Chain A
């Protein structure tokens, strides 16, 4: 009896699933493919994607009534699949979106681990791809690799720009170039870490800093005693790098245990979200306060969407209202921008022909929620556009919460500075 029940359950699951898979997509829509790390190690980066998709879909389908393509006005449909933060799964899902859902345009977003496989798959199939929110250098090396990309158009900052941003933050903390300050660098061996490492190691001596490089490590390592002892012995002044939150937590705890004293900390990737910083604070008894990082976007940025007309401030407020008062995460701002670019290209192409959409993407010159986007540069065959970047510091507010305050705008002065550098517990030297 039990076996019959199990057989029926298995058969029903398969039947319902297959039926669902075959009938899920509406036929007469413009389809936008979206692979998102909704679960897994990168889930924090993927937060807010569904909310953004709902906003854009609602705006286009209800407010605009759709987009005119191939002589008819059609609604848009964003098909989202979870990558489970697994790069192998990203390729599979991108392929599924193209082969099964027949998407007209693809979004490749959320760190190089997601962007590279999704963009590479889109390029291979000749599907126009809005690639965004991964440093330009690793995407160019892996997706283009010296051969011109025809269908992938990327927008984000370069490692060179993020280096300048971190240097400005060190300067704001009193550790400017040319003084021989020692910079202890912490980079994993992943795509991000390797790209940052190579540029930092090259640029730091040129600017008169002394590099203390204990070597890269596999992301997910637990024991950083050796690294911390190296920093202690070398008496570093600055701790810099980019790490996923668990890695930096382990690095920082090892440094605290070894008694490493630093004048300032700048760390990418792990300090983007209030949740990540809060974990860091709790696990180090408040000793991460004052940590600095690059800022890609906040609701305070002076940009508005030319597509939907909404300002950064209004978008941030809408997100907070719909999400229990939480601040809109930086990656969610980029998710919004990616869909803006896609909608703009589809509107201008007025066609679902891949080459027409590609040509429209190539000609993009759009004011988005994260700033102006124009694919006017090229690196190793990848067409890309720079996005703005500023320097921020997590500062303790009067109500006891931590807030990311923009304290430096050296790289892009269009961004307004919100405050000054404040020595925190993380700067114990």
Chain B
């Protein structure tokens, strides 16, 4: 009896939540976030929370794109955050340029560095790739610690008159988050996106059926670098001061991993849930000196043990739906019935 129930549940059709109704819901939510932010309905403090959530969603989506969808687990995404933060600081304080110029320079530098690194990093796979990305981040950090141009380890400040207020940085973060999610969603639904997941599951097999491994990896790596850098740039516009130890800190990647694991690796909606939980927990735990990292770590371990698919991954499996799925349509019921009968 129980087996039949399990079998029936397993073959319940998966509903892909997309199409016009989903698009309309997303547009309404995004429009509401813009309008409530611009009109001042949201308090400055609420916008600070949301701004952090949007930036962590962006970074989480990019780490998820690399690791969850492409199989390129990186421990060095902080490279692009640090480079972006220093780009903004150098352009605004050394050259007295606007913050926008700093963000643009951050984007260009991240793309160029990603292209250069790809020639070395793409020769490695799996944990070798992960460790190599970390080593690169540490090496760049060490270089910045001794580089007089960026004031060595003494840090730099982002300067602007007038300095952007929270609502303005909120809008930057919201826009970046929306674009990042659209890019990931659209990319995953293209032929290239299909190739990426095939590459994640078996690189050699996917190569043998025509997936261009190097090109696919390069595309994803550059996209992830660009958006991670943009998120890093906006983060440091808000933080205002940057040190090599803070810009290139491994804790950035630890946050991204936490967000993706909690939310659900390999799901587009997972980082959204993960980022909300991460930001709320971080803010709450600020009142408990010394405990915040322990509690965050304990939660991550509990989720890994009991919810290995993360919150969204588990919900999608249990409730048989997929949000922002790679699938272009829901599975027809008759196909599932036929499958179930064949397996029975």
- A190 at the binding interface (Cβ < 8 Å): yes
Question: Min CB distance, B150 to chain A, in Å?
Answer: 10
Q: How far is the CB of B128 from chain A (nearest CB, A)?
A: 25
Supposing A87-B155, A188-B153, A189-B154 touch, asked if A82 and B286 sit within 8 A by C-beta, the answer is yes
* B30 interfacial contact with A, CB 8 Å: no
Chain B, residue nearest A79 (CB) = B287
Q: Which residues of B contact A142 (CB under 8 A)?
A: 154-157, 241
A17 touches B285 (CB 8 A): yes
Q: Are A117 and B241 in contact (CB under 8 A)?
A: yes
**Could you tell me if B241 and A87 are in contact, using CB atoms closer than 8 angstroms?**
yes
Q: Which residue of A lies closest to B48 (CB)?
A: A99
Cβ-defined contact, A6 with B246, below 8 A: no
Closest CB in chain A relative to B18 CB, distance in Å: 26
B303 neighbours in A (Cβ, 8 Å): 6
Q: Is the interface of B mostly helix, strand, loop or mixed?
A: helix
Complex interface: chain A residues within 8 A of B239 (CB): 88, 91-92, 117
Which B residues are in CB contact (< 8 Å) with A99?
44-45, 48, 166
0/1 per residue, B212-252, Cβ < 8 Å to A? 00000000000000000000000000111111111101010
**B146-166 with Cβ < 8 A to chain A:** 146, 151-157, 159, 161, 163, 166
Those of A273-299 within 8 Å (CB) of chain B: none
Residue A39 contacts which of B48, B246, B289, B295 (CB distance < 8 angstroms)?
Answer: B289
Least distance between B307 CB and chain A CB atoms (Å):
6
| Distance between A8 CB and nearest chain B CB, rounded to angstroms | 12
Inter-chain contact A96/B286, CB cutoff 8 Å: yes
Given contacts A6-B302, A99-B45, A82 and B154 within 8 Å (CB-CB): no
CA A13 to CA B282, docked complex, whole Å = 12
Any A CB within 8 A of the CB of B145: yes
The CA-CA distance from A199 to B244 in the complex, in Å, is: 23
A216 contacts the other chain (Cβ, under 8 Å)?
yes
B306 and A120 contact, CB distance less than 8 A: no
- Bound form: Cα–Cα A241–B88 in Å: 32
Task: State which of B243, B293, B306 has its C-beta within 8 Å of the C-beta of A2.
Answer: B306
- Rounded to whole angstroms, the CA-CA distance of A13 and B281 in the bound complex is 8
> Considering the chains assembled together, what is the distance between the CA atoms of A191 and B247 in angstroms?
15
* Complexed CA–CA distance, A121 and B245 (Å): 19
Which residues from chain B contact A9 at a C-beta distance below 8 Å? Answer: 302
* A190 engages B154 (CB within 8 Å): yes
Task: Tell me how many residue pairs across A and B have CB atoms closer than 8 Å.
Answer: 137
Known contacts A14-B281, A87-B245, A124-B163; A3/B151 CB under 8 A: no
Q: Which residues of B contact A264 (CB under 8 A)?
A: none
Q: Are A17 and B280 in contact, CB atoms less than 8 angstroms apart?
A: yes
A400 at the interface (CB under 8 A from B): no
Judged by a CB distance under 8 angstroms, whether B142 is at the interface is yes
* Cα of A95 to Cα of B169 in the assembled complex, Å: 13
Known: A13-B281, A145-B93. A87 touches B243 (CB 8 A): yes
Cβ–Cβ < 8 Å partners of B159 in chain A: 145, 147
| Contact residues of A between 49 and 93, Cβ < 8 Å to B | 80-82, 84, 86-88, 91-93
B interface, size bucket: 35 or more
Does B284 lie at the interface of the complex (its beta carbon under 8 Å from any beta carbon of A)?
Answer: yes
A414 at the interface (CB under 8 A from B): no
Complex Cα gap A16–B289 (Å): 17
Within 8 Å of chain B (Cβ to Cβ): is A300? Answer: no
Contacts A6-B306, A38-B290: A120 and B153 contacting too (C-beta < 8 A)?
no
Q: In the complex, are the beta carbons of A143 and B281 less than 8 A apart? A: no
Measured in the bound complex, the distance between the Cα atoms of B283 and A375 in whole Å is 35
A113: nearest residue on chain B (CB-CB)?
B243
Q: Which of A14, A17, A38, A88 has the largest number of chain B CB atoms within 10 A? A: A88
A217-265 with Cβ < 8 A to chain B: 217-219
Cβ of B98 within 8 Å of any chain A Cβ, yes or no, is no
Q: Does B326 contact A (CB under 8 A)?
A: no
Contact for A10 among B244, B293, B299, CB less than 8 A: B299
- Please pick, from B240, B251, B287, B292, the residue contacting A124 in the complex, using a CB distance under 8 A: B240
A138 within 8 A of partner (CB):
yes
Give the contacts of A1-22 with B (CB-CB under 8 A).
2-3, 6, 9-10, 13-14, 17-18, 20-21
Give the distance in Å from the alpha carbon of A333 to the alpha carbon of B48 in the complex. 34
Chain B residues whose CB sits within 8 angstroms of the CB of A95 once the complex forms: 48, 238
Indicate whether A218 sits within 8 Å of B307 (C-beta atoms), given known contacts A121-B240, A190-B153, A191-B155. Answer: no
Whether, in the assembled complex, A195 has its beta carbon less than 8 Å from a beta carbon of chain B, the answer is: yes
In the assembled complex, 28 residue pairs joining A and B whose CB atoms fall closer than 8 Å, in A order, are A6-B302, A10-B277, A17-B280, A17-B281, A17-B284, A17-B285, A18-B280, A21-B283, A21-B284, A21-B287, A39-B289, A80-B289, A82-B290, A84-B293, A86-B245, A87-B241, A88-B242, A91-B239, A92-B239, A95-B48, A95-B238, A100-B283, A147-B159, A191-B155, A194-B151, A195-B154, A216-B152, A218-B153
Contacts A87-B246, A189-B154 supplied; 8 other A-B pairs, CB < 8 Å: A10-B299, A13-B281, A95-B48, A96-B48, A99-B48, A112-B154, A142-B154, A218-B146
